[in-house]
């Protein structure tokens, strides 16, 4: 009798569906500062029905209960990904000017102001 654990065997019958759980985890990475109620409301807009308690349960199973934990998880997942820039990104990034000093930047800003004010 002591060897037997009380409670349901396996996951609870009212547990969040696997699709809902993956949506909650995706949202936790996309918006780590949102609370459980906000996440549940955002998922409801996409027709994914999860209660705020269900969101919290998913976070608890994946050790993401606090905002700090979710931010650390996001930081770790972005550090593991390698970003590749497309030709369009390179074209846009090529238009940026990097300044060595604040004075150089001020000269360019003053020139832009003169152009726009005349």
Domain boundaries, the chain: 18-80, 87-117
Q: Is the pLDDT of residue 66 over 60?
A: yes
Judge whether 16 and 24 are in contact, CB under 8 Å.
yes
Phi, psi of 5 (to 5 degrees): -85, 140
Calpha distance 7→55 (Å, rounded): 22
Is residue 13 very low, low, confident or very high in pLDDT (cuts 50, 70, 90)?
Answer: confident
Q: Average pLDDT of 82-108?
A: 69
How large a percentage of the chain has pLDDT more than 90? 45
Cα→Cα distances 16→19, 49, 90, Å? 8, 9, 42
pTM of this structure: 0.61
């Amino acid at each position: 009798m002591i060897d037997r654990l009380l409670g349901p065997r396996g996951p609870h019958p009212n547990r969040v569906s696997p699709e809902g759980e993956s949506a909650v985890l995706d949202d936790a990475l996309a918006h780590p500062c949102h609370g459980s109620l906000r996440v549940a409301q955002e998922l409801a807009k996409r027709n994914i029905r999860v209660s705020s308690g269900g969101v919290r349960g998913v976070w608890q199973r994946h050790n993401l209960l606090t905002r700090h934990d979710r931010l650390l998880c996001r930081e770790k997942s972005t550090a593991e990904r390698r970003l590749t820039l497309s030709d369009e990104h390179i074209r846009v990034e090529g238009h940026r000017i990097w300044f060595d000093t604040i004075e150089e930047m001020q000269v360019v800003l003053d020139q832009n102001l003169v152009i726009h004010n005349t």
